[in-house]
Amino acid sequence: MISTENSVPERQPQVLVLDGLTPQQGHASNKRNESENVSDETAQPPPGRTPATDELLRRVGRNLVIFQQVEHALKILTTHARFRAPASKFAERFGKHAESIRKQSMGTLAGQLTEAILLQDDSDATSREIDEAWFGFGFRIETDAESVARHEAELEELVDRRNELVHHFLPRWQAAVDGDTEAALDWLDAQREAAVGMLDRLQGWARTLETARKEHAAFLASDEGQRQMELLFLRSSNLAIMLGQAAMATPRPDGWTLLASAGHLIKRAALEELEKLGERFGHATLKAMLLATELFDVAEEPTPGGGSRTIYRINERWRLENPPVDSTVGSSNG
């Protein structure tokens, strides 16, 4: 019954009473009722510890650590599977590359690992317009398509198992608390077996990668490694490429090209680089650089006036692939 209290002072708002409760009291009562209707799953107090539930929690923790080890191995492999950058920006870009992978989820890493290591992709991320040396490294496992598909499926299933443990284990836990501990323990053991198998595989790949990295680092630090790096820098220079273009453009019938003719063409196209030959490469003459590349056969032939001139050709062990068309490199072999 709704009634009005007649004893309230003037100007004070009337208060409605519903079954003996003010609206504020009614609202509080409704909230209490809602709390009482919360599912038993969340309202129940934590169960007391027993040897069985302690063992169950131990195996949950064990599996979570194994999954974290799998994720860590995925990050190591994905970080070092493939990377390229210009020498002057290598450390900076690699740091950003590693940081971006560090933040990725296990599911994302699983997909990237297959693409980076197992699929035979020979694409090159090096810019086609470069003005300095680029460095890079890659790690790849050669296998057949069936093995790739099997690994991909196993890794995807493992990610699903990990997600089920992290996000959906509560029903199994509640069943264990109610007495069915063995079912949850068996499920965790099967999960562990699959995770350990994948972890062994990934850690084996990671050990191989680490061995290759150490061998590579040792080689680069050696005298021969330093020589090879200098040779690579010299061979990838614009001057060496232009010498190769000149040799390929219009060689004489005997296959040789006059170095003087090539020099004239290079002087017109890249005078500044030619003038800085000694500063950049440590060679005083174009002939000295030509010899230092070890890409060309070089010879001297007599001239009608009693002198000699230098001729060269690309050594048969080497070839200049897809040389860019350059109209300034051409036909004068005198």
Quick check: 9 pLDDT over 50? no
Residue type, 268: R
Contact 328, 265 (CB under 8 A): yes
Q: Mean pLDDT across the stretch 262-290?
A: 86
Q: Are strands 257-258 and 308-314 parallel, antiparallel or unpaired?
A: antiparallel
Quick check: 334 pLDDT over 50? no
- Among residues 183, 83, 89, the alpha carbon closest in space to that of 132 is found at 89
Question: For position 206, what pLDDT does the model report?
Answer: 93
Question: For position 127, what pLDDT does the model report?
Answer: 56
Contacts 24+ apart (CB under 8 A), 90-93: 90/135
The band of 176, judged by pLDDT with boundaries at 50, 70 and 90, is very high
Quick check: 292 pLDDT over 60? yes
Contact 185, 59 (CB under 8 A): yes
Question: For position 153, what pLDDT does the model report?
Answer: 93
Q: Is 0.85 topped by the overall pTM? A: no
195-216 per-position pLDDT tens digit: 999 999 999 999 999 998 899 8
Quick check: 248 pLDDT over 70? yes
Q: Mean pLDDT across the stretch 153-160?
A: 94
Quick check: 171 pLDDT over 90? yes
Question: For position 197, what pLDDT does the model report?
Answer: 96
Q: Which of 42-46, 53-57, 212-216, 224-228 has the highest mean pLDDT?
A: 53-57
Query: How far, in Å, CA of 161 to CA of 120, rounded?
Result: 28
Q: Can you give the length of the chain in residues?
A: 334
Percent of the chain with pLDDT over 70: 78
Q: Count CB-CB contacts under 10 A for residue 231.
A: 14
Query: How far, in Å, CA of 260 to CA of 280, rounded?
Result: 21
Query: How far, in Å, CA of 86 to CA of 131, rounded?
Result: 9
Quick check: 141 pLDDT over 90? no
Burial of 323 (0-12, 13-18, 19+ CB in 10 A): middle
Q: Which of 60-74, 227-241, 314-328 has the highest mean pLDDT?
A: 60-74
Query: How far, in Å, CA of 303 to CA of 306, rounded?
Result: 5
The residue that leads in pLDDT, 236 or 169, is: 169
Q: Are strands 82-86 and 257-258 parallel, antiparallel or unpaired?
A: unpaired
Contact 23, 29 (CB under 8 A): no
Q: Mean pLDDT across the stretch 320-333?
A: 46
Contact 163, 155 (CB under 8 A): no
Question: For position 205, what pLDDT does the model report?
Answer: 93
Question: For position 46, what pLDDT does the model report?
Answer: 62
The band of 102, judged by pLDDT with boundaries at 50, 70 and 90, is very high
Question: For position 81, what pLDDT does the model report?
Answer: 86
On average, the pLDDT of the chain sits at 81
Q: Mean pLDDT across the stretch 192-197?
A: 96
The band of 47, judged by pLDDT with boundaries at 50, 70 and 90, is low
Q: Which residues pair with 136 in a beta bridge?
A: 84
The band of 220, judged by pLDDT with boundaries at 50, 70 and 90, is confident
CA distances from 29 to 3, 38, 150, 225 (A): 20, 15, 59, 81
Question: For position 191, what pLDDT does the model report?
Answer: 96
Domains of the chain: 2-39 (no CATH), 51-221 (no CATH), 232-314 (3.30.420)
Q: Mean pLDDT across the stretch 152-181?
A: 94
Question: For position 196, what pLDDT does the model report?
Answer: 97
